[in-house]
């Protein structure tokens, strides 16, 4: 059976694949899934995978061993952009958008306006990996491709718990399991397992957490000094806001961490009712309704004063506070 990806790849001799900045599990899963599919089906094709720094636990994914983390001007017949919601979110280099005769974006972010030549964006899909699956011929998905697709779906659904997890999501995951992938170790190693340092850092963030607005909003932060003390990097901060959300009565969480000098980044998660995408968009960021982020041009310690009025406005608009 010819799939959409097979149609695109007809008569093509080179392809590049990239995801978004600071790649997460879905970004890696979708990029490596497509890489693996092309490697299996088109062994003659030159295919380069571009990935920024990611959590070492994902190194089992096929393609990570040869991935490039800098772009030096190569040209391709087609460039695939996965899980990337906007031009300024493209990983490794924004120039990759124009590195191909044609660009093809595969995504599930509601904020994606379709910046590539061709775009397949399903805002209701659980993950870019799920969108990718719909473009492949299921009969030709090998164990290695299945590992990647399963990883991406599992990661972006928080192990099949978030709202975007549909019956179709579960059917695809089940189909991937039928390829005999080691799903228990994939889940443990990439979702739950942390280094000792990361566990200590999480403890600090949770211990510092405050409850604001009738306990509806959980707020916490970490400084560069603290990250250095615990040997943490950007990837060690994944999941902080989700952990904060596991507190009775909390509707949304706000976690602030350092980026460049005198600026910071904010990660927000909502349980169900608050729209953190709307909130973060007002602050110059974006993302999903239940998971979003934004950069701020103030140090970590000063973010609270900038963020709280916007948080309060969102909680009022949603009716979570009076």
Shortest Å, Cβ 322 to Mn ion: 35
Residue for token digits 């599992």?
Answer: 154
157, exposed or middle or buried, with CB in 10 Å at 0-12, 13-18, 19+?
buried
**Whose Cβ is closer to Mn ion: residue 83's or residue 314's?**
83
Shortest Å, Cβ 109 to Mn ion: 7
**Whose Cβ is closer to Mn ion: residue 88's or residue 297's?**
88
Answer for which of 48, 52, 144, 156 binds Mn ion (CB under 5 A) is 156
**Whose Cβ is closer to Mn ion: residue 19's or residue 100's?**
19
C-alpha dihedral, 245 to 248 to 252 to 258, nearest 10°: -40
What part of residues 26-85 is at the interface with Mn ion (CB under 5 A)? Answer: 26, 83
Q: Are 268 and 282 contacting, i.e. CB atoms less than 8 angstroms apart?
A: no
Q: Which stretch binds Mn ion (CB under 5 A): 45-53, 148-156, 158-166, 291-299?
A: 148-156
Shortest Å, Cβ 167 to Mn ion: 19
What part of residues 235-274 is at the interface with Mn ion (CB under 5 A)? Answer: none
Q: Which stretch binds Mn ion (CB under 5 A): 72-80, 119-127, 283-291, 307-315?
A: 119-127
Residue for token digits 């309060």?
Answer: 312
Shortest Å, Cβ 85 to Mn ion: 9
CA distances from 157 to 125, 161, 283 (A): 10, 6, 25
**Whose Cβ is closer to Mn ion: residue 107's or residue 314's?**
107
Dmax (CA) for the chain in angstroms is: 63
Question: How is the beta sheet containing 100-107 ordered, strand by strand?
Answer: 46-50, 14-18, 76-82, 100-107, 118-121
CA–CA gap between residue 295 and residue 283 (Å, rounded): 8
Q: Tokens representing 252?
A: 């949304």
Residue 107 in contact with Mn ion, rule: CB under 5 A: no
Shortest Å, Cβ 129 to Mn ion: 8
Q: Which residues bind Mn ion (CB under 5 A)?
A: 26, 83, 127-128, 156
């Amino acid at each position: 059976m010819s799939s959409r990806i097979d149609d695109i790849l007809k008569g093509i001799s080179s392809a590049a694949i990239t995801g978004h900045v600071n790649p997460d599990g879905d970004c890696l899963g979708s990029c490596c899934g497509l890489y693996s599919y092309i490697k299996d089906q088109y062994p003659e094709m030159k295919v380069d995978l571009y990935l920024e720094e990611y959590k070492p636990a994902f190194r089992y994914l096929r393609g990570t061993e040869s991935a490039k983390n800098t772009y030096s001007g190569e040209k391709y017949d087609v460039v695939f952009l996965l899980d990337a919601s906007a031009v300024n979110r493209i990983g490794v280099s924004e120039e990759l958008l124009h590195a191909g005769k044609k660009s093809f974006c595969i995504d599930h972010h509601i904020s994606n306006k379709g910046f590539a030549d061709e775009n397949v964006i399903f805002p209701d899909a659980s993950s870019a990996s799920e969108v990718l699956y719909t473009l492949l011929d299921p009969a030709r998905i090998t164990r290695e491709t299945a590992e990647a697709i399963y990883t991406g779906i599992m990661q972006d659904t928080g192990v099949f718990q978030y709202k975007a997890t549909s019956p179709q999501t579960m059917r695809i995951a089940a189909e991937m399991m039928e390829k005999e992938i080691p799903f228990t170790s994939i889940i443990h190693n990439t979702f739950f397992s942390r280094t000792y340092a990361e566990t200590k850092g999480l403890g600090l963030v949770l211990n510092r957490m405050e409850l604001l607005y009738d306990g509806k909003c959980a707020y916490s932060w970490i400084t560069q000094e603290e990250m250095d003390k615990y040997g943490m990097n950007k990837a060690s901060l994944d999941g902080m806001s989700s952990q904060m959300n596991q507190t009775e009565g909390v509707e949304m969480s706000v976690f602030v961490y350092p980026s460049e000098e005198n600026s910071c980044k904010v990660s927000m998660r909502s349980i169900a009712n608050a729209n953190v995408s709307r909130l973060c968009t007002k602050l110059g960021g974006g993302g999903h309704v239940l998971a979003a982020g934004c950069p701020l041009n103030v140090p970590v310690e000063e973010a609270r004063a900038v963020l709280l009025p916007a948080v309060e406005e969102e909680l009022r608009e949603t009716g979570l506070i009076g």
